[in-house]
């Protein structure tokens, strides 16, 4: 049985390392509800440490969906993600879940659905956006160089991900354009303000450094070694994932541990910057500072947003 056409959800968004996972878990337990992840890296089974996936203890205390959907060697698209969401039992939607994540592509799909009537090149955009999410501008540049040598030399700013994506699209054979039906649906969709977590750049940078150090100390290298033994060839998105590409380079002798940690931190900071920009321009964000505050204090601010008349948002992912 399909979920209702417009199931409701409480959305919690924010850049990486702002505390979304712990806050969503605390709020879900308090409300007696479940959590739907909107994070493109949490879909990979076995990629636990480097993605800061909810702990086994957290998953034993609360129902999590939208995670552990594919192996690292599988190609996985936003269409696959929505298929998994549509497969959630209808009765689960009787209690609005907490949708938590920082992947704009997934949030857009949940809020407005997919533009299946748009240009066929839209799959190209989706693939490139996923590559940017997992590997940053470096992964996009590598794709451009491998597929169209000399393409980057034609760009005024080859470090601008939007320009690189558009250049690859044009080189492949077109620039995707949304259908009028999708644009009309997006304009009509009811999307009030969404609580979006954030903190000062210096605070976030320090949090990222601590998180990355904990990941490597918790056994990221061992996790990657075991995954490579089980899956010798990974999908491009999984293979370029932040932390995993660097850990693989350490195992291959191409990077020292300190350099791998530094690169992982730098790529994570760039990801947070891209996410912040996306939320600023694509969501009606109600920014909530998580700086030097307790979980309970921040949770109260989130609850205040959710308790407003339109705090429970209609999702439009069903065909």
Alpha-carbon distance 95 to 63, whole Å? 12
State the CATH architecture for 8-116+178-314.
3-Layer(aba) Sandwich (3.40)
Task: List, as own/partner pairs, every contact residues 190-193 make where C-beta atoms lie below 8 angstroms and the sequence separation is at least 24, other chains included.
Answer: 190/310, 190/313, 190/314, 191/111, 191/283, 191/284, 191/313, 192/284, 192/308, 192/309, 192/310, 192/311, 192/313, 193/284, 193/285, 193/286, 193/305, 193/308
- Can you give the residue ranges of every domain in the chain? 8-116+178-314, 122-172
Handedness of CA 66, 67, 70, 74 (dihedral sign): positive
Q: Give yes or no for residue 123 having a pLDDT over 70.
A: no
Cα 92 to the center of its chain, rounded Å: 23
Which pLDDT score, from 0 to 100, does residue 310 have? 79
Residue 160 has pLDDT above 70, yes or no: yes
How many CB atoms neighbour CB 187 within 10 A?
8
Which residues make Cβ contacts (< 8 Å) with residue 226, sequence separation at least 6? Answer: 46
Q: CA Rg, the chain, in Å? A: 19
pLDDT tops 60 at residue 1: no
pLDDT at position 17 over 90: yes
pLDDT band at 228 (very low <50, low <70, confident <90, very high): very high
Q: Could you tell me which of 2, 48, 13 has the C-alpha nearest to residue 198?
A: 13
| Predicted confidence (pLDDT) per residue in 83-92, tens digit | 999 999 999 9
- pTM of the predicted model as reported, rounded to 2 decimal places: 0.83
Element (H, E) at 282: helix 257-282
Which of 57-71, 102-116, 169-183 shows the lowest per-residue confidence on average (mean pLDDT)?
169-183
pLDDT at 73 over 50: yes
pLDDT higher than 50, residue 147: yes
Give the number of other Cβ atoms within 10 Å of residue 305's Cβ: 19
Q: Give tens-digit pLDDT for 272-306.
A: 998 998 898 888 899 999 999 999 999 999 999 99
pLDDT in tens, 44-54: 999 999 999 99
Give me the chain's average pLDDT, please.
88
């Amino acid at each position: 049985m399909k979920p209702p056409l417009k199931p409701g959800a409480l959305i919690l968004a924010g850049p990486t390392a702002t505390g979304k996972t712990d806050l969503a878990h605390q709020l879900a337990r308090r409300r007696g509800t479940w959590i739907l992840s909107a994070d493109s890296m949490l879909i990979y089974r076995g990629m636990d440490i480097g993605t800061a996936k909810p702990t086994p203890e957290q998953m034993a205390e609360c129902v999590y969906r939208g995670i552990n959907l594919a192996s690292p060697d599988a190609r996985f698209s936003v269409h696959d993600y929505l298929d998994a969401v549509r497969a959630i039992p209808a009765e689960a939607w009787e209690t609005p879940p907490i949708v938590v994540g920082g992947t704009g592509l997934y949030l857009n799909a949940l809020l407005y659905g997919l533009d299946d009537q748009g240009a066929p090149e839209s799959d190209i955009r989706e693939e490139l956006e996923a590559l940017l999410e997992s590997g940053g501008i470096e992964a996009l540049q590598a794709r451009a160089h491998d597929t169209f040598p000399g393409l980057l030399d034609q760009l005024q700013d080859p470090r601008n991900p939007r320009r690189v994506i558009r250049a690859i699209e044009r080189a492949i054979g077109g620039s995707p354009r949304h259908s009028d039906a999708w644009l009309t649906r997006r304009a009509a969709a009811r999307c009030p303000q969404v609580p979006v977590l954030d903190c000062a750049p210096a605070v976030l940078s320090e949090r990222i450094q601590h998180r990355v150090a904990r990941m490597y100390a918790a056994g990221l290298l061992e996790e990657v070694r075991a995954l490579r033994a089980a899956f010798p060839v990974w999908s491009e998105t999984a293979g370029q994932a932040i932390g995993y590409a660097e850990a693989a380079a350490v195992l291959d002798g191409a990077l020292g541990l300190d350099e791998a940690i530094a690169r992982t931190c730098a790529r994570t900071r760039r990801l947070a910057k891209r996410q912040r920009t996306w939320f600023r321009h694509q969501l009606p964000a109600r920014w909530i500072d998580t700086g030097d505050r307790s979980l309970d204090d921040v949770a109260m601010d989130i609850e205040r947003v959710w308790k407003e008349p339109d705090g429970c948002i209609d999702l439009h992912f069903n065909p």
